[in-house]
Amino acid sequence: MAAWKNLDTLEAWKKIAADEKRVNIKEALTGEAGAERMKSYKVPMAAGMTYYYGAKAVDDELLEKLCALAKEAELTEKYKELYEGAVINTGEKRLVLHQLTRGQLGADVIADGVNKREFYVRQQERIAEFAKKVHAGEITNAAGEKFTTVVQIGIGGSDLGPRALYMALENWAKSNHTLKMNARFISNVDPDDALQVLSEIDVAHSIFVLVSKSGTTLETLTNESFVKDAIEKAGLNPSDHMIAVTSETSPLAKNSGYLAAFFMDDYIGGRYSSTSAVGGAVLSLAFGPEIFARILNGAAEADALSKNENPMENAAMLDALIGVYERNILDMRSTAVLPYSQALSRFPAHLQQLDMESNGKSVNRFGEPVSYQTGPVIFGEPGTNGQHSFYQLLHQGTTIVPLQFVGFVENQFDQDVVIEGSTSQKKLAANVAAQIVAFACGKDDENRNKYFEGGRPSSIIIGRKLTPEALGALLAHFENKVMFQGFLWNLNSFDQEGVQLGKLLAKRVLAHNTDGALKVLSDLFEI
Amino acid sequence: MAAWKNLDTLEAWKKIAADEKRVNIKEALTGEAGAERMKSYKVPMAAGMTYYYGAKAVDDELLEKLCALAKEAELTEKYKELYEGAVINTGEKRLVLHQLTRGQLGADVIADGVNKREFYVRQQERIAEFAKKVHAGEITNAAGEKFTTVVQIGIGGSDLGPRALYMALENWAKSNHTLKMNARFISNVDPDDALQVLSEIDVAHSIFVLVSKSGTTLETLTNESFVKDAIEKAGLNPSDHMIAVTSETSPLAKNSGYLAAFFMDDYIGGRYSSTSAVGGAVLSLAFGPEIFARILNGAAEADALSKNENPMENAAMLDALIGVYERNILDMRSTAVLPYSQALSRFPAHLQQLDMESNGKSVNRFGEPVSYQTGPVIFGEPGTNGQHSFYQLLHQGTTIVPLQFVGFVENQFDQDVVIEGSTSQKKLAANVAAQIVAFACGKDDENRNKYFEGGRPSSIIIGRKLTPEALGALLAHFENKVMFQGFLWNLNSFDQEGVQLGKLLAKRVLAHNTDGALKVLSDLFEI
């Protein structure tokens, strides 16, 4: 059994904290030594990608200390406990099994009398079978016509991850002529969200995926009723157009109101559920189950690489260690995720949930307040768009923000144009390369307004092309990074008690059971 | 002439900085006194909206000090200098005239021999005339068929603001049956961005708005060539399908390659250009010029309210003062913008550019380094989506993030459903009301994992409905807030030198004129 200790009680951490030396990124990246460093400071990742950290504020000495920290914190042992079914989610007393949806990393996990890997695989098979029947026209609308659109109804983890993954592969699938169905997403309880999607789709040829683990998520059930209304107004029967993704014990399971129900369970948290039935149903319908399987393969490969106990060969672990160093030693409170790929435009929103909901905590896994900083604020937009927006602050603001770039050698469509001697894809790549050096090395200028201090740390993940495997690998990389950071901070990264109070108070408002300031606000909105 | 001084040299600021008293938000908002405070801590805004700041960490004593700061910093005088045509953008030696696109607040501004208000109005009239002809079928494609879609090609300020405004009113216009044309946007140099939009529209019935002040923005010209290719492949003539928004001296002006050209000038920065021809062309085509005029009216009303020298009656000024207090005294480094309106889903991305590009600076307007923090990191997503995502960190994380909520009494579509006794719109509003109190007051719990510390500051702007006027007023509120904050920090909020270095280095990469680490990165991307 690994020992779960607060970060500031670890000897390796005390050594890091006591060391006042700081790496000067600008100097480190200059000249031939800088070129050598950029080449060699890297870790291979899954799906042929590579994590480059030459522009981070680390050197061999510090890396050695971080490796000692990883060892003393028993990151590898804790990961093993997790994937072999220990009760890692202490608050809710649950196992944490999302990796099992894509592979098996250790001993069988038997819970509630069930082999969980077999359970998740069985759901994938059921989804694949269903999706194939829809694509083949064996499952159709009442008029016997094929479904052309799939609409996911879910919020939070049932929305952001699957949506980001769909958007990431939509162009790739179009370009390969493998897009089976268009996907749309309804999430917000704002009625205008559902009404907009419904105004833009052909309801008669749409299949709706209702995603709610408990079967009681108010936002999702509310949106379901908009959808049912729309289906009925089109003279159709909702039960011919809806499937459910839920837990086996929910009111949505074995319910004649749905064409089919596919299952996840309590051991897969919402923000970690993209590779479960939550993402599996919509992505298998949109792209075909074989494409979804390729996403899983990329993630499985990344999960396996995360087992390596040497951080210098484990990109997720090294990324996590450097992040904790930036957060707790360099006092950097936010991190920007900057994919140079329009297809990843909503990937930062998914990572924002994944990271901030997992590690935005002030108590350790035993419920004791910690005396150090935990998870950072995560934000980001795709490049080059961000360059024309908030990069000003990143370059010359008074707050230093560590940067996580992602870039690819090739674009997804097999088409491009040459302007001024280069393709758009080369321009895109040239920009991300330039940004890394600009942030790290800065520029002297007598005009202080045109002066760039440099010293702003970044890493970059480089892949050949954003394929299903690469996407799965990226997803798992960040999940595992966040997990390792949670281990370092000694947090329970798998609950989310911080969202409960708002829910509770909202219910009181709707029941008119309020007073004081809440009553005033409630009156202002005429509730 | 106002005196431009660094924040930390102002006597009023020194008094604020010397005061170690902190307002306990939780106590302040409790009980009947808290209700009274929530009711009375408000400032009327334009378009019938109201700014409520009862959940901010301020009290009457501190507000008085902030008012003294506003006076000593001569915020009102500086605003007057700006709207009457002083060279406020010192770095680029330019006037700053975006307010003139929607009204005139003071004396005539004559620049380059032209009355600038008349110039901007003339462009609006030309756009209105053009849009009406397109809507009436007097300007058509070569086959004499009406255009149905308008596609904006631009990046940064030519994209985010107009896109956020379009998305904000798309449902409203649909609901009122006034949507004249669908709008789409192409921005990223990533070729997959243009290719995706082109794969989804009907090119033969689309009109493209190329937006580039200089007429030389590489991303935009690159995307133009994708569009021209697509038009030609459809057997059509690009010049029948394209208009330009540019400066009068650019190569795009008076160019037979475009159906028409509409003009802005150097006195309107990209991020402040939504109310100029940059937003005017696409929004007038999509919604009709009379709707665009209503956006301008809302903005004009907000601009006029910003002239009030009493911060207690000037929402933008008070918002700015409280933000500087949070940034420099309470050491809060980021701000979340959380609109409870799906229609405002991209408004935070616009504000992210507006704020971070304007005030993410380390030197004052005279080019001297400042010794205090400036603009914060801005991020946000619409509620209730964010509640199911990153709110965990906002409630229980170790970093306190000030929150800027926006909410409306009514939704945009005239349609809703009742579930469990309330409409979706009421549920949405109940949630934002609940969040404000949850963040401010927290909750005691013996289980520290379920304990909420509270004391997390927020403000909320409440309006009846997101109409064109309300949208214009919101846009101008934040522009003026950012402007006042720039005045307080003594920054030039109207240049963006921080984006130049990356551009320069990217050009060198594309010209293969690199060495060292940049050459390594360039090779990794096979450039």
Kindly give the confidence (pLDDT) of every residue in chain B, 527 residues in length, as a single tens digit, with 9 standing for 90 and above: 899 999 999 999 999 999 999 999 999 999 999 999 999 999 999 999 999 999 999 999 999 999 999 999 999 999 999 999 999 999 899 999 999 999 999 999 999 999 999 999 999 999 999 999 999 999 999 999 999 999 999 999 999 999 999 999 999 999 988 899 999 999 999 999 999 999 999 999 999 999 999 998 888 889 999 999 999 999 999 999 999 999 999 999 999 999 999 999 999 999 999 999 999 999 999 999 999 999 999 999 999 999 999 999 999 999 999 999 999 999 999 999 999 999 999 999 999 999 999 999 999 999 999 999 999 999 999 999 999 999 999 999 999 999 999 999 999 988 899 988 999 999 999 999 999 999 999 999 999 999 999 999 999 999 999 999 999 999 999 999 999 999 999 999 999 999 999 999 999 999 999 999 999 999 999 99
Q: In whole angstroms, how large is the CA radius of gyration of chain A?
A: 24
Residue of B177, B503, B512, B526 marked catalytic: B503
Structure tokens belonging to residue B121: 């109005």
3-state secondary structure of B127: helix
Q: Which of A114, A76, A112 is nearest to A94 (CA)?
A: A112
- Identify the CA nearest to A385 among candidates B379, B349, B500: B349
Choose among A38, A430, A497: nearest Cβ to B527.
Answer: A430
Q: Is the pLDDT of residue A216 over 90?
A: no
Nearest Cα residue to A213 out of A171, A276, A170: A276
Is B388 part of the annotated catalytic residue set?
A: yes
**C-alpha distance from A424 to closest chain B C-alpha (Å):** 6
Q: ∠ CA(B137), CA(B290), CA(B263), 5° rounding?
A: 80
Judge whether B191 is closer than 8 Å to chain A, CB to CB. yes
Selection from A105, A42, A79, A465 nearest residue A301 by Cα: A105
Q: What is the rounded distance in angstroms from the CA atom of residue A435 to the CA atom of residue B377?
A: 19
- Would you give the distance in Å from CA A297 to the centre of its chain? 17
Is residue A449 less than 8 Å (CB to CB) from chain B? yes
Q: What is the pLDDT of residues A377-407, one digit of tens each?
A: 999 999 999 999 999 999 999 999 999 999 9
Would you state the structure tokens that stand for residue A485, as one six-digit string?
């950071």
DSSP 8-state symbol, A153: E
Residue type, A465: K
Backbone angles phi, psi at A493, to 5 degrees: -85, 10
Nearest to B382 by CA among B343, B430, B433: B343
Asked whether B205 and B149 are in contact (CB, 8 A), the reply is: yes
Our CA-based measurement puts residue B438 at a distance from the nearest CA of chain A, in whole angstroms, of: 6
pLDDT in tens, A304-338: 999 999 999 999 999 999 999 999 999 999 999 99
User: Residue A460 belongs to what H/E stretch?
Assistant: strand A458-463
CA B134 to chain centroid, in Å, comes to 28
- Beta-bridge mates of residue A460: A52, A405
Alpha carbon distance B463, B474 (integer Å)? 10
A361, A427, A510 ranked by CB distance to B222: nearest: A427
The position carrying tokens 């901010």 is B56
What residues have CB less than 8 Å from A108, skipping those under 6 apart? Answer: A115, A117
Q: What is the DSSP letter of B3?
A: -
CB-CB contact of B290 with B19 (8 Å)? no
Using the CB atoms, write b or e for A124-145: b if 16+ within 10 Å.
Answer: bebbbebbbebbeeebbbeeee
B270 near B157, Cβ under 8 Å? yes
Average of per-residue pLDDT values in chain A: 97
Label residue A177 by pLDDT band (50, 70, 90).
confident
Tokens of A271: 């923000």
- How far apart, in whole angstroms, are the C-alpha atoms of residue B375 and residue A389? 14
Q: Are B220 and B154 in contact (CB under 8 A)?
A: yes
Token pair 């509270």: residue: B454
Please give the Cα distance from B86 to B94 (Å, whole number): 8
Closest Cα in chain B, distance from residue A107 (Å): 31
Using CB atoms, which residue from B187, B413, B452 is nearest to A192?
B413
- Output the pLDDT for position A217: 86
Helix (H, G, I), strand (E, B) or coil at A125: helix
- For A392, which of B360, B412, B515 is closest by C-beta distance? B360
Q: What is the pLDDT of residue A461?
A: 98
Residue with tokens 């431009």: B4
Q: Cα–Cα distance between B459 and B339 in angstroms, integer?
A: 11
Catalytic (active site) residue B503: yes
CA distances from A354 to A159, A348, B153 (A): 12, 10, 33
Per-residue confidence (pLDDT) for residue A414, from 0 to 100: 85
Residue A175 main-chain phi, psi, to 5 deg: -65, -30
β-strand B149-153 against B182-186: which pairing, if any?
A: parallel
C-alpha B505/C-alpha B524 separation (Å) is: 16
Contact (Cβ atoms closer than 8 angstroms) between residue B283 and residue B162? yes
Q: Does B192 touch chain A (CB under 8 A)?
A: yes
Q: Are strands A458-463 and A50-52 parallel, antiparallel or unpaired?
A: antiparallel
Q: Is B509 on the interface with A (CB under 8 A)?
A: yes
pLDDT of res. A218: 85
> Phi then psi for A339, rounded to 5 degrees?
-80, 130
**CB-neighbour burial class of residue B44 (10 A; exposed 0-12, middle 13-18, buried 19+):** exposed
Show residues of chain B in contact with A504, CB under 8 Å: 434
Q: Is A44 on the interface with B (CB under 8 A)?
A: no
| Residue pointed to by tokens 């004009």 | B300
B106 to chain A, closest Cα gap in Å: 30
How far apart are the C-alpha atoms of B319 and B404, rounded to whole Å? 10
**Residue % of chain A over a pLDDT of 70:** 100
Cβ within 8 Å of residue A378, ≥6 positions away: A334, A335, A336, A337, A348, A351, A352, A355, A356, B390
Cα A520 to Cα B411: distance, rounded to the nearest angstrom: 20
Least Cα distance to B469 among B293, B348, B313 occurs for: B293
A vs B, Cβ pairs < 8 A, gives 518
Q: How many Cα atoms are found within 13 Å in the side-chain-facing hemisphere of B513?
A: 6
CB contact under 8 A, B190 and A341: yes
Residues B347, B338, B496: CA angle, nearest 5 degrees: 45
Taking CB atoms and an 8 Å limit, are B521 and A436 in contact across chains? yes
- Residues whose CB is less than 8 angstroms from the CB of residue A415 and which lie 6 or more positions away in sequence, other chains included: A175, B191, B195
Which DSSP string corresponds to A428-452?
Answer: HHHHHHHHHHHHHH-B--SSGGG-B
Among residues A133, A174, A233, A388, the one annotated as catalytic is A388
Neighbours of B182 (CB within 10 A): 18
What is the distance in angstroms between the Cα of A47 and the nearest Cα belonging to chain B? 16
Binary contact (B499, A395; C-beta < 8 A):
yes
pLDDT one-digit tens code per residue, A224-236: 999 999 999 999 9
Whole-angstrom distance, CA of residue B473 vs CA of residue B344: 14
In order of A282, A352, A429, A502, the CA distances from B386 in angstroms are 22, 10, 31, 12
Which residue shows structure tokens 């299949």? A207
Q: Is B135 a catalytic residue?
A: no
Tell me what pLDDT residue A516 has. Answer: 97
The closest alpha carbon to A410, from A399, A419, A420, A423, belongs to A423
3-state secondary structure B65-93: HHHHHHHHCCHHHHHHHHHCCCCCECCCC
Mean pLDDT of A365-371: 97
Burial of A80 (0-12, 13-18, 19+ CB in 10 A): middle
Tell me, yes or no, if B87 comes closer than 8 A to chain A by beta carbon. Answer: no
Answer yes or no: are the C-beta atoms of A84 and A100 closer than 8 Å: no
Question: Strand B458-463 vs strand B50-52: parallel, antiparallel, or unpaired?
Answer: antiparallel
> For residue A357, what are its two tokens?
């909901």
Q: Which residues contact A299 (CB under 8 A, 6 or more apart)?
A: A46, A102, A103, A275, A472, A473, A475, A476
Report the residue of chain A nearest B222, measured CA to CA.
Answer: A419
CA atoms of A207 and B91, how far apart (whole Å):
56
Phi, psi dihedral angles at A110 (to 5 degrees): -110, 120
Tell me, what DSSP letter sits at residue A94? B
Closest by Cβ to A396, choosing from B396, B438, B498: B498
Confidence at residue A344, expressed as pLDDT on a 0 to 100 scale? 97
Q: ipTM of the assembly?
A: 0.97
Look at the block and give the residue holding tokens 């990165």.
Answer: B521
Query: Could you report the per-residue pLDDT of A51-65, keeping only the tens digit for each?
Result: 999 999 999 999 999
Report A:63-82 residues touching B (Cβ under 8 A): none
**pLDDT tens digits for range A411-452:** 998 889 898 899 999 999 999 999 999 999 999 999 999 999
The model's pLDDT over A61-100, given as tens digits with 9 standing for 90+, comes to 999 999 999 999 999 999 999 999 999 999 899 999 999 9
Question: Residue A511 carries which DSSP code?
Answer: T
Q: Does B360 touch chain A (CB under 8 A)?
A: yes
Residue B218: list chain A partners with CB under 8 A.
419-420, 427
